[in-house]
Structure 1
Amino acid sequence: MTKRKNLSRLLKCYLLITVASFLYGIGTAIFSDPNNIAPGGFTGVAIVLNRIVPLGTGAWFLILNIPILVLGTWKFGWHFICSTLYATGMISFFTDFIARYGKAFIVHDMVLASVFGGLMAGVSMAIIFQQGATSGGSDIIIKLLRLKYPHIKTGGLLFITDIFVIFFATLVIKDIPASLYAFITVFINGIALDKVLYGSDEAKLLFIISDRHASITRRLLKELDLGVTHVYGQGAFSGKDKKVIMCVVRMRISPQAQEIVKEEDPEAFMIITSATEIYGEGYKSYFDDKI
């Protein structure tokens, strides 16, 4: 039963990565690339390099990612590298495939291209991130940075790295209007990414009492990357000491957290309440919010 569930999750994961890669390919091949919009990241670098040596934007994207994928393997392990390698390969394939066979659908309106190019990229990257992978390139660099600075949102880090790529594209392609539109693409990309990835600030506060607290905690930490706190309590009737698991989870992954508890201990006592304002590491900064 467990093997079947794991297989089902794996298939769902790679299906979502495939769909996201297709959306990413549309954003690049239909909106950004034909209009000289180099929207930061390795995609932007690939668009620029394809103007110099026309191997295909998707092909360049794959070539650029090879050394970064090696770095990701060293830091994040084989599950990460397999899913990210798959995402990178699919993005590369769909980008060049759509560029070749989807020319009739190319959008030449710069405003629409910049907005929808950023929207497609942001949504697709968020979906890939949710599956424990990245779309390669600067995403891996961002993932490494977030290990050191977890309070900084992904979209903000993405915006910083993208600015450097846009300036590089301006020097090579020499299309200043397209570079200005690229800033719109990057801005929309960052907003879409954060909205899908983080959602609103509303979350759930979970209190879990279980004799299997160790295995539940381990899975919450490993599978959902949650912050978990152990609170020591005592049963008033039994007098027994109990270790209470306390954690805050965002709305979108609350069902996954509950499922982990049910799988590990169907008899667990669990209290779930709403948390609408959360300050601290990984969430809002109290001082920044007031400024």
Structure 2
Amino acid sequence: MFIRLLVIIFSSILIAFSWNSFLLPHKVLSSGVAGIGMIISLLTPINTGYINFALNIPLLVLGFVKLGKKFMMNTILSVVVISGALLYLPVKPLSTDPILSAVFGGVLAGIGIGLIFRFSGSTGGLDIIIFLLARKKETPLGTLTFTLNAIIILISGFLFTWDIALYTMLSIYVTGKVIDMIHTSHLKLTVMIITNKGEEVKRNLISRLVRGITIVDGEGAYTKEKRKVLFMIISRYQLSEVKKIIRESDPGAFVNIMETLDVMGSFHRDL
């Protein structure tokens, strides 16, 4: 618990540092709600920290009601720390080159966001919007993300310059790639667990997650040893928790995690 809070706080400060030291001085924007907050701060004397927090308040309230409580508590912590750090960290460029700033700012932001994802949280804004929309309609999440980010890039081009819009596109792309390296960009994952302690693993997973589990009997091809094979589909934000539960239940379990493009039938969409 302490490590999770420490990582979320450190990662949130890292994100704020990337914005104030690399992106904002060159008018390069982040994605989603954060990008909208940056636009407002660049056009007004209001600090980005105040705007970021204000824009996230209604989303946090709605997300707390509709999404998982643990996930939202971690998200609230991240939003508060990012907004506070934006207030106190100086908006001062570390590089005069906008391309280098877009790349390194995107890398640092991606590291921070990816770590927060790994520890069952998010930075608010875009992720909350995507989850809420995805629960209402079967719109591909990639399409939603692309559309929201495209709007940010177009606004950047019209308000500032098209060079800045391209820098913004580069930064968003780099951030996404780094997040993929640290965590995963896929919303749903299929987990296959091969274990000698099937009942214990099942019991611990069910007690701590709202997810269905399918269990089949397995046998080693060479050893002829009987084992249980558990299958379950989870959201990307549950991945770190699932890994922790499996390690606690059976450190010797074989686990295969696969990307899941879509799910038909009953799938509980709450986090």
Q: Shorter chain as normaliser: what TM range?
A: 0.7 to 0.9
Cα 1:187–1:174 shift into 2, 3 Å: same
Structure 1 unmatched runs, 5+: 1-9, 235-241, 284-291
Mapped to 2, the partners of 1:216 and 1:134 lie a distance apart of: 25
Deviations 1:187-220 (CA, angstroms, capped at 9, x unpaired): 1111111111139xxx985223444464233157
Q: Would you say 1:76 and 2:67 are equivalent positions? A: yes
Which of 2, 6, 21 is the equivalent residue of 2:12?
21
Q: Which position in structure 2 is the counterpart of 1:244?
A: 228
Structure ID, larger Rg: 1
Higher helix share: 1
Which ranges of structure 2 fall in alignment gaps of 5 or more residues? 220-225, 264-271
Q: How many residues align?
A: 248
For the Cα contact (< 8 Å) 2:29–2:168, is it kept in 1? Answer: yes
Paired with 2:129 and 2:253, the residues of 1 have a C-alpha distance of 38
Aligned mates of 1:73, 1:146 — CA distance in 2: 16
For 1:134, the aligned partner's letter is S
TM-score, reference length from structure 2 = 0.76
C-alpha RMSD over aligned residues: 3.6
Aligned counterpart, 2:160: 174
Give the SS at the match of 2:182: helix
Contact 2:113 2:123 in 1 (8 A): yes
Distance between the aligned counterparts of 1:12 and 1:271, measured in 2? Answer: 24
Residue 183 of structure 1 is matched in structure 2 by 169
Q: Does the 8 Å contact 1:213/1:245 carry over to 2?
A: no
Matches of residues 2-151 of structure 1 in structure 2 within 5 Å?
10-99=1-90, 103=92, 106-145=94-133
Shift of 1:90: 0.6
Displacement of 1:43 in angstroms is 1.8
Aligned partners of 1:205, 1:233: CA distance in 2, in Å?
12
Task: Check conservation: 1:229, 1:246, Cα contact below 8 A.
Answer: yes
The 5-angstrom pairing of residues 195-210 of structure 1 reads 195-198=181-184, 205-208=192-195, 209-210=197-198
Quickly say closer, same or farther: Cα 1:281–1:244, change in 2 above 3 A: farther
Give the 5 Å matches for 1:226-245: 228-231=213-216, 244-245=228-229
**Structure 1 residues 141 and 192: CA distance shift in structure 2, 3 A:** same
TM-score by length of 1: 0.71
Counterpart AA for 2:244: Q
